Amino acid sequence: MGQLAFLNEDKLFDGWCIRFTGFDGEEKVACGVSIAALKASDPSLQRHGLLPAEAFLASFDGLLVAIHDAARRKYDRCEFESAGDVRVLVHRRDLSP
């Protein structure tokens, strides 16, 4: 298993997480960051109530380096999700200092 790389930002908000793609060589790796992780890590996001997708996407952009680093660490440790389409999901605990 190689280093997880992020070549383009094809982010997609699905209502539960923001999905993005990592690459291990030619292999695509479905990644995501949970909405709870974004809310816990970005003080500019409201903690309660409905927010537009654009708010979460802007938060993702602001936390991009930390999210990618957390996804790489999880991938390197083979911490994969047991179910669903997202293989590496960054949770709140993964972004905590």
The pLDDT tens digits of the residues spanning 23-54 come to 999 999 999 999 999 999 999 898 777 889 99
42: phi then psi, degrees, rounded to nearest 5:
-115, 105
Residue 6 resides in a domain: no
Does 2 map to a domain?
no
Among residues 30, 12, 41, the alpha carbon closest in space to that of 71 is found at 30
91 assigned to some structural domain: yes
How many domains does the chain fold into? 1
Q: What is the CATH number of the domain that holds 35?
A: 3.30.160.140
Q: Model's pTM, two decimal places?
A: 0.92
Distance CA 80, CA 39 (A): 22
Range of the domain at 76: 12-95
CA dist list (Å): 28 to 19, 31, 36, 42, 56: 13, 9, 25, 28, 23
In a domain, 5, yes or no: no
For residue 4, tell me if it sits in a domain. no
